[in-house]
Amino acid sequence: MASYPTTHAKIETVVDTPWFIDNAFKPSETTEFIALHDPATNNLVTRVPQSTDAEMRAAVDSAQRAFPAWWATSVLHRQQLMFRLVALIRENWDRLAANITLEQGKTLADAKGDVLRGLQVAEAACGAPELLKGEVLEVAKDMETRTYKEPLGVVAAICPFNFPAMIPLWSLPVATIAGNTMILKPSERDPGAAMIIAELCQKAGFPDGVVNVIHGAKQTVNFILDEPRIKAVSFVGSNQAGEYVFARGSANGKRVQANLGAKNHAAVLPDCNKNNFIKSVVGAAFGAAGQRCMALSTVVFVGGTKDWLPELVDNAKTLQVNGGFEADADLGPVISPQSKARIEELIASAEDEGAKIVLDGRGFKPANEDYAKGNWVGPTIITEVTPKMRCYREEIFGPVLLCLNVATLDEAIDLINDNEYGNGVAIFTSSGPTAESFRRKIEAGQVGINVPIPVPLPMFSFTGNKRSVAGGGATTFYGRPGISFYTQQKTVTAKWAESDAISTRAEVAMPTQQ
């Protein structure tokens, strides 16, 4: 018998989520809890504490205490611990995925992908001995300059609900292998995977205090932003929260990186492989019930490709919407009743503003009565959309695909570039020169050529732009830029010259080392 959930059955004895400090799980002293419901049933899964001020301060005390010794360990030692964490995540892959399916709602296969994409960041972080190397140059006779990448101290990560394993793992391995200690604040809507990751850090041998987990919503975020001992904050989530986090954290002198919302387009050209286009867009629009920041939520049909719409709709109709543990499920529910209501309201607004609903997922319910109270929205396709409509201007974050028609690729590029978001974009074409021209002219920061969700693997970095990031995206998550975010450079210039002993005059002019 697996020691983790394998169904959406009601949990008889609900256990409150603990917090994590000094490598131990503790019950919170709080009186304020956030109820976490299984999105497929709305059964209570756990209660997530709003960590008390004393608990949050204690977590920072712990991380601060752990920092000097952690930094003093050799990078090879930290690498060994990371190797162990990687192995443990692999061993606990099914357990992590099951927790994600229960708390977040996505299908088990999709949840496994969530874990793997985070695991890959941890694997890449094992390259730290190479990534943390500085530079050295003999800048003048008897003189050299060298750089060191030193950790910042205590850093924090604030995570969204939609990738409960991947996004904590965008930060934790990179921050800790660089010698920082970390305060992790998972989403209050599904912290279970982060709690398992914390347990695995402890099992891997991370010393006490290197990773601590606190919980809650805005109060916890404000604590992190105002606590002077926290030097850097990685945030992933909505524009509403992230722009605030960036402003307040930056005003308090912290490094802040913030990845925000999106509206990702697919431009489809008549010369593309139609089968690849249809399968790719249906998968990337409706997978994870559209709750991915890189979901392809908008198709721009160029020229005659608009005639392919019926085939696209037929394909979307074949998707099975069901509880994430069900073997046939292609997509599960959305995260909450509020989210379902918001998505349905945006679909209605499209209709009111003159668009046409050609596939309507409102009111969908799986056949199984156990799921009668879940947050279901079936795949929805809306055509005759214009850029002025609310459904186009706002991120829907649900299984809803918008369709627009244009006559030429240049029109498609102008339309896409006019959108304020710049997370991802895809072009479907069999022409290399067309794809190359699109790549140059398009503004979005992550471009897929016949690839629907071009989330870069961790040897690269996540490079959304425009309103999909705060602060102009000056620092990006994971890869070499991730290491740069979590380290500060120290530059040392040294001279060892025998002539120093015999020089007779002080040099008062600015040294130029010529």
Instruction: For residue 293, indicate whether it is catalytic.
Output: yes
Distance of closest approach, residue 188 Cβ to ligand NAD, in angstroms: 5
Q: Which residues are at the interface with ligand NAD (CB under 6 A)?
A: 158-163, 185, 187-188, 217-218, 221, 236-238, 240-241, 244, 259-262, 293, 395, 397, 423, 462, 464, 468
- The smaller minimum CB distance to ligand NAD, of residues 291 and 380, is found at 291
Backbone angles phi, psi at 91, to 5 degrees: -65, -30
Task: Pick the closest to residue 64 from 132, 155, 150 (CA basis).
Answer: 155
Nearer to ligand NAD, 241 or 426 (CB): 241
Assess contact for 283 and 451: CB atoms under 8 A: no
Structure tokens belonging to residue 46: 């756990």
Tell me the residue number closest to ligand NAD, measured at CB: 237
Residue 50 vs 305, nearer CB to ligand NAD: 50
Query: For ligand NAD, which is the closer residue by CB, 78 or 467?
Result: 467
Q: How far is the CB of 261 from ligand NAD (least distance, A)?
A: 4
**CB of residue 167 vs ligand NAD: minimum separation in angstroms?**
6
State which amino acid sits at residue 67: F
* For the chain, the helix, strand and coil percentages under 3-state DSSP, each to the nearest 5: 40, 20, 40
What residues does 25 pair with on adjacent strands? 20
| C-beta atoms surrounding 506 within 10 Å | 5
DSSP, res 468: T
Consecutive H or E run containing 193? helix 192-204
CA pair distance 33, 45, nearest whole angstrom = 13
- Please tell me which residue in 126, 159, 293, 391 is annotated as part of the active site: 293
* Angle 213-219-222 from CA coordinates, rounded to 5°: 90
| Token duo for residue 501 | 């002993």
Q: Could you give the 3-state DSSP secondary structure of residue 146?
A: strand
Least spacing, CB of residue 242 vs ligand NAD, in Å: 6
Calculated CA dihedral for residues 66, 68, 70, 72, nearest 10 degrees: -160
Closer of 409 and 447 to ligand NAD (Cβ): 447
Q: How far is the CB of 134 from ligand NAD (least distance, A)?
A: 29
Compute the C-alpha angle 236/238/243, nearest 5°: 85
Burial class of residue 472 in the structure, from the number of CB atoms within 10 Å of its CB (0-12 exposed, 13-18 middle, 19+ buried): exposed
Q: In the complex, what is the shortest distance from the CB of residue 492 to ligand NAD, in angstroms, rounded to a whole number?
A: 36
The residue written with tokens 């030097």 in the block is 231
In the block, which residue shows the tokens 């978001």?
Answer: 421
CB of 187 to ligand NAD, least distance (A): 5
| Alpha helices by DSSP H, 307-387 | 309-317, 337-352
Question: 512 exposed, middle or buried (CB, 10 Å; 0-12, 13-18, 19+)?
Answer: exposed
Q: Which is nearer to ligand NAD, 251 or 494 (CB)?
A: 251
To which H or E segment does residue 440 belong? helix 432-441
If you write DSSP's letter for every residue of 16-68 in order, what string do you get? ---EEETTEEE----S-EEEEE-TTT--EEEEEE---HHHHHHHHHHHHHHHH
Which run of H or of E encompasses 140? strand 136-140
State which residue, 412 or 470, has the beta carbon closest to ligand NAD: 470
Which residue lies nearer to ligand NAD by CB, 371 or 462?
462
Our CB check for ligand NAD shows the closer of 359 and 453 to be 453
CB of 395 to ligand NAD, least distance (A): 5
Q: Between the CA atoms of 177, 181, 187 and 190, what dihedral angle is there, to the nearest 10 degrees?
A: 70
User: Which residues are paired to 422 by β-bridges?
Assistant: 465
Active site residues: 293
